[in-house]
Amino acid sequence: LTHSLTHTLSHSLTLSHTHSLSNFFFLSFSRFLFLLGIYICVFEMVVLNVKKGEEPQFLFETTVAALVEDVTNEVADVYNTRLRIQRLCMAIEQLSQHGIMKTPKMQGLTPDQIVDLKLKDDTDKYYPSGGAQECVDDIGLRTGQAPSEQMRDVLARTIAEAKAAIAKDLVKRNVKMTMETLTDVIDKLRGAVMIVYPMGLPPYDEVQIILDDDEDLSGRQAEKEVVPRENACLWWANKELTRTKKLSDFIGRNEKTKITCKIQKVCDTLKLIHSSSYTHICTHALIWYLLLSSSKKGLGAPAREPLYDEETQKKMMAYAYKKQEEWKKLSENEDDYMNSAWADGRALKKQMHGTNNIKFK
C-alpha cells in the first residue's frame, strides 16, 4: 500500500505540469481511496468470540462467505488442540518432576513387588541430558529419575510460554488464535523434550503419546471436554448455526462483525437408534421417524448470555447493599423527623411573631 501511494504521488507530480492543481489532488485522492478500500476488504474479517459454557475460550477469525460446516470444524480443531496442549503441559510437568513412565507392567508396583515378580526395566536407555536426580513418584507411575535442575528450568520456561500462548486472557487483549499458532506451540514443547531427552521417550510414555496425537481418552474426564469436529455445533443468538448454510445467512455480509458464539456437542440419533437397548424400547415407527427427520439433534440451546458483565453486576450489588443499609438506618430512627424544623406545626405562627429563632436553655 505504501509503495502504491508513493507511485501515485510521483505520477501525479508529473501530471501537474500539464494539468491543473485540482486534477492533481483529485487523481491522488481517488486512487488513495481505491487502494484503502482494497486494503480494508482484504484484511477485515469476522471475529468469533468462542465460548464453552460461560467462559470465553479464544478469538477466531473467518469470513462471512465461509460455510458454517468449515467454520465449525476449524473452531472445533482449535478448541481440541488447546485442550491437547493443556494435557501435554501437565504431562511434561510430571516428566520434569519424576522422570519418564515405567513400563506398563511395572506401573503401580513397589520395588519389592518388582523383585518378586522378576520384572526387568528397559528405561535405562532413556537417560536425561545432564544427569538425573532421585525424586520418587508416590503414585508409582514414573521411575523417579528426574532431570537435572538446569534441564527442568528448560521445560518449565517452555511450559510457561505454552500456557501463555493458549491463555483465556488473550480474549481481553484481542489476540486471535489459529491452528498455526497452536502447532508452533506443540513443536516448541517437542523441541524442549528432545533437548532434555536426546534419546527420545518410550512409546508408552504419556508425553510421547500426546506428541504423537495417539491418545485414548476413553473413560477419562478429558473425553467429556473434547468436542469432536463431526459432533460439534455453534450457537449464536439462541439459535444453532446450520452446517449446510453460509455464515452470511446468519450474521449478514459485514466483514467487520464480531459475535459471541458457543461451541457444544450434538447428540447422534443414529447411534441411539442402532443401540440394542434403544431399539428394544422404541417402536419401528418411531425409529423411522427419527431416521427421516434428522440424523443429528442438538442438545438444546446453551444458557443465554447474562445481561450485564461481571464488573457491572458487582457495582449493582454494591449499590443495592448501600441503599439497603441506608434504609436500615432510617427505619431505626423513625421519629427523628418530628424534631426537624420543617415538621413544626407552629412554624408559620412563630415566623409572623418573630419568635422562630428563640431558643430556651
Give the Cα separation of 264 and 225 in Å (integer): 10
Residue type for 99, please?
G
Which pLDDT score, from 0 to 100, does residue 138 have?
83
Can you say whether residue 46 is alpha, beta or left, with left for phi > 0 and alpha for psi between -120 and 50 degrees? beta
What is the distance between the alpha carbons of residues 239 and 262, in angstroms, rounded to a whole number? 10
Q: What is the per-residue pLDDT for 344?
A: 77
Instruction: Give the pLDDT of residue 184.
Output: 96
**Maximal C-alpha separation, the chain:** 116
Please report the pLDDT score of residue 22 as a whole number: 54
Can you give 303-339 as a three-state secondary structure string? CCCCCCCHHHHHHHHHHHHHHHHHHHHHHHCCCHHHH
| DSSP letter (8 states) at residue 176 | B
The residue among 62, 99, 81 whose CA lies nearest residue 162 is 81
pLDDT given at position 194: 94
Alpha helices in the chain (DSSP H): 2-15, 21-43, 68-98, 111-117, 149-165, 179-196, 206-211, 221-225, 248-251, 269-274, 276-281, 284-293, 310-332, 347-353
* Residue 82 and residue 58 in contact, taking contact as beta carbons nearer than 8 Å: yes
- Residue 31, pLDDT score: 60
Q: How far apart are CA 181 and CA 186, in angstroms?
A: 9
Contact 81, 124 (CB under 8 A): no
Q: Which of 180, 148, 181 is nearest to 167 (CA)?
A: 181
Task: Tell me the mean pLDDT per 10 residues along the chain, length 361.
Answer: 49 48 53 48 75 90 93 95 95 93 78 72 79 84 89 95 94 93 95 93 92 90 90 89 92 90 72 44 48 49 72 90 84 64 78 76 61
C-alpha cell recorded at residue 227: 468436542
Quick one: pLDDT at residue 281?
47
